[in-house]
């Protein structure tokens, strides 16, 4: 089963969705042989290098009041904990530009089985759990270390515009396909599951799709 997972590394529902998907696949077991491929999607492609304060960002982009934002953060933290992931929102947390992170994920896709997933989770952990600036090259290389990948090779990618056109091309492709929010999970190129669903919802959908052949 081909699973295309379109997401951003500063999107909490993306990590919640990924963990939910993985729990569903574990519950299904060997009934399905999944191949998960990650694809880039920048929620904020115009984010400047200095980033933006999370509270200001949510207010500007979504019009949420401080009370609404606090309630949303609490809900996100709870949902993440349910799937075994720690999100720690900080009072001065920021949203960062993620283009270079996506370039590294593109690179990781050619580094062997499991490499892209390992880096994806390392980046999610760096941002949501550790509060790292995932636009900063040193932080990105630390995530590469955490994923067990080649730091020097990753540094060479970051040193110039390697894979920039590839990432832009992929992002444009998925937008042309109608993707405007993430996570978006495309199954076998035909079925889309949108959002950070609980494991049971993913399991039900995957079993139905598998039964249809």
**Which tens digit of pLDDT belongs to each residue from 54-106?**
989 999 999 989 899 999 999 999 999 999 999 999 888 999 999 999 999 99
**Which tens digit of pLDDT belongs to each residue from 146-187?**
999 999 999 999 999 999 999 999 999 999 999 999 999 999
**Which tens digit of pLDDT belongs to each residue from 182-209?**
999 999 999 999 999 999 999 999 999 9
Buried b (16+ CB within 10 A) or exposed e, 139-158: bbbbbbebbebeeeebeebb
Residue listed under structure tokens 């979504």: 62
pLDDT at 41 over 80: yes
d(CA 142, CA 180): 30
pLDDT score at 91: 84
Count of other CB atoms within 10 angstroms of residue 64: 16
Say whether domain 2-50+98-212 belongs to CATH 3.40.30.10.
yes
Say how many CA atoms lie within 13 Å of 17 toward its Cβ: 26
d(CA 66, CA 209): 41
> For 62, left (φ over 0), alpha (ψ -120 to 50), or beta?
alpha
CB 137 within 8 A of CB 100: yes
pLDDT at 213 over 80: no
Average pLDDT, the chain: 97
Residue among 197, 195, 185, 164 at smallest CA distance from 83: 197
What is the residue extent of each domain of the chain? 2-50+98-212
**Which tens digit of pLDDT belongs to each residue from 124-148?**
999 999 999 999 999 999 999 999 9
Angle at 105 between CA 34 and CA 163, to 5 degrees: 125
pLDDT at 45 over 90: yes
pLDDT score at 100: 99
| Rg of the chain taking only CA atoms, in angstroms | 17
Residue among 157, 147, 86, 100 at smallest CA distance from 122: 147
75 secondary structure, DSSP code: H
* Three-class secondary structure of residue 5 per DSSP: strand
């Amino acid at each position: 089963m081909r699973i295309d997972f379109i997401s951003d590394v500063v999107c909490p529902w993306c990590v919640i969705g990924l963990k939910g998907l993985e729990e569903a696949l574990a519950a299904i077991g060997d009934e399905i042989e999944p191949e998960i491929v990650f694809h880039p999607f920048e929620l904020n492609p115009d984010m400047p290098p200095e980033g933006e304060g999370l509270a200001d960002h949510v207010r500007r982009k979504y019009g949420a009041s401080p009370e609404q934002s606090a309630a949303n953060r609490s809900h996100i933290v709870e949902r993440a904990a349910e799937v075994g992931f720690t999100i720690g929102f900080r009072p001065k947390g920021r949203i960062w530009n993620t283009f270079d992170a996506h370039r590294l994920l593109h690179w990781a896709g050619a580094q062997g089985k499991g490499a892209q997933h390992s880096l994806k989770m390392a980046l999610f952990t760096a941002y949501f759990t550790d509060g790292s600036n995932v636009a900063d090259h040193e932080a990105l290389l630390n995530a590469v270390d955490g994923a067990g990948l080649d730091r020097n090779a990753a540094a060479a990618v970051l040193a110039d515009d390697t894979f920039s056109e590839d990432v832009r091309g992929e992002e444009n492709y998925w937008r042309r396909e109608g993707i405007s929010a993430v996570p978006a999970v495309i199954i076998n190129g035909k079925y889309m599951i949108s959002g950070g669903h609980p494991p049971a919802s993913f399991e039900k959908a995957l079993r139905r799709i598998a039964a249809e052949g």
